[in-house]
Amino acid sequence: MAKRAIDYGKEIADGSLDPVELLSSTYEKIDASDVANDIFTILTRERAEKEAQASHKRQQQGKLKGPLDGVPVSWKDLFDTKGIATEAGSKLLEGRTPEKDCEVLKRATHAGMVCVGKTHMSELAFSGLGINPKAKTPPNILGNDLAPGGSSSGAGSSVAHGFVSIGVGSDTGGSVRIPAAWNNLVGLKTTHGLIPNDGVVPLCPGFDTVGPLCTSVEDAWVSAAIFAGLETQTPLAKPLSECKFLISKTIMADSLGEDQEAGFHEAVSKLASAGATIEYDDINIMNDIQALGPILFPYEAWQSWGEAIQTQPELMFEPVRNRFLAGKDTTRQQYEQAWNTMLEMRKTYDAQVADYDAVLAPTVAIGPPSVTELLNDIELFQKTNLIALRNTRFFNMFGSCALTLPTSKPASGLMVVGKPLGERELVSVGLAMEEILNT
């Protein structure tokens, strides 16, 4: 893995690292790799070199724009990039070339971050597995035939393989947290609306969020703060002895893989030993809100892409196309009823978790499955995809922010769920957890 982005930024700030040399070494790693073509859709060399040169000039003048000025970053291929093909992993969008950057990329560029390239992803971001036979399937760091997690598959792979310190992804139902967990990374799912989606290829506009995949909680905070236009100074870690966490006894702990169960329980044990208060309760509202997912997500996805899919259905991988088709016959009335029910359930959930610093759960119930096996069995692909998304998707519907942190077991993330717009408080807790979990 690459060093933390914040550490690269500090070296640039103290003059011990030249942004131009950092970019050069980044491309050297990429060019020497035999997996880079499966991770990056395109390398934006000309743009990156101009940005690195501009950062170098600011460095010489003592006018750096912030803590990540000069730091290379990868971008999931649904963030509009001026003059660069942005196809969202889909043959339906082949050749689509935006005339301007999306808003979040503009903010990153203004802060001095260097755009290295665009990364592969699940088709139109509608799969949690990261497998895309219509384009490329990025390799999982644990094995090339293991699913990388999606839909921000290349974003996670670009960080796990050490090319960049931050991969910018999106999360509609788990698409930052799943690849982060399966590649032993930190991922931050931000509150919907905190970071603008202007110029981001949509999937489900009511749930789409922007978030980073990286190697540390501090990197997650600083990058997300830049994207959101917030103060970048990292909050202080909250002592775990002052923290109270809730673990739900319903659904999220069911049918866990061996490593996922062990990693979660070992992490919880470490937190308890560090003085955290751990309480268990039935969050029964989860059973009810789970039933809304098959209405809300496919409906919004079909509204976004149904017309294009119907025109050329053969361009899509069948199990992903089937997920879109699931929303075709849902009526606007059914959707609105489900949406209003979800909003009422959010109130119930918020009241139940109000006194806790965070809710804890395994990020993903299972480890990364074999790509080959899933490609040979469409029914297994669809079933496995829903299992992968199960735990993460709850908190898109609840409107929460959430971190995933690596545990002692491979591909076993600890999901730490905060309150809506509670990213600063969540990071404060996450920083303390990270220190304990890394020991």
- Residues 261, 324, single domain; the answer is yes
Q: What is the pLDDT of residue 439?
A: 81
Q: What angle do CA 213, 217, 223 make, to 5 degrees?
A: 60
Q: Is 175 among the residues known to form the active site?
A: yes
The answer as to whether 94 is a domain residue is yes
Q: What is the pLDDT of residue 250?
A: 86
Could you tell me the pTM of the whole model?
Answer: 0.98
- Residues 202, 284, single domain; the answer is no
Catalytic residue among 55, 76, 189, 409: 76
Among candidate residues 20, 35, 263, the one with its CA nearest the CA of residue 154: 35
- Residues 22, 166, single domain; the answer is yes
Q: What is the pLDDT of residue 135?
A: 98
The answer as to whether 28 is a domain residue is yes
| Domain that includes residue 415, residue range | 240-292+317-437
Q: What is the pLDDT of residue 345?
A: 98
- Terminal alpha carbon distance of the chain: 18
Catalytic residue among 74, 122, 127, 151: 151
- Rounded to the nearest integer, the mean pLDDT of the chain is 98
Q: Is 76 among the residues known to form the active site?
A: yes
- Residues 273, 149, single domain; the answer is no
Helix H or strand E segment including 118:
strand 114-119
Q: Write out the chain's pLDDT in tens, 439 residues.
A: 779 999 999 999 999 999 999 999 999 999 999 999 999 999 999 999 999 999 999 999 999 999 999 999 999 999 999 999 999 999 999 999 999 999 999 999 999 999 999 999 999 999 999 999 999 999 999 999 999 999 999 999 999 999 999 999 999 999 999 999 999 999 999 999 999 999 999 999 999 999 999 999 999 999 999 999 999 999 999 999 999 999 999 899 999 999 999 999 999 999 999 999 999 999 989 999 999 999 999 999 999 999 999 999 999 999 999 999 999 999 999 999 999 999 999 999 999 999 999 999 999 999 999 999 999 999 999 999 999 999 999 999 999 999 999 999 999 999 999 999 999 999 999 999 999 998 8
CB 271 within 8 A of CB 245: yes
Domain boundary among 179, 200, 228: 228
Q: Alpha-carbon Rg of the chain, whole angstroms?
A: 20
For residue range 2-48, list pLDDT tens digits in order: 799 999 999 999 999 999 999 999 999 999 999 999 999 999 999 99
For residue range 371-421, list pLDDT tens digits in order: 999 999 999 999 999 999 999 999 999 999 999 999 999 999 999 999 999
Question: Rounded to whole angstroms, how far apart are CA atoms 209 and 211?
Answer: 7
- Residues 127, 96, single domain; the answer is yes
The answer as to whether 311 is a domain residue is no
- Residues 85, 217, single domain; the answer is yes
Question: Rounded to whole angstroms, how far apart are CA atoms 359 and 129?
Answer: 24
Q: What is the pLDDT of residue 1?
A: 73
Domain count, the chain: 2
Helix H or strand E segment including 347:
helix 332-353
- Residues 216, 85, single domain; the answer is yes
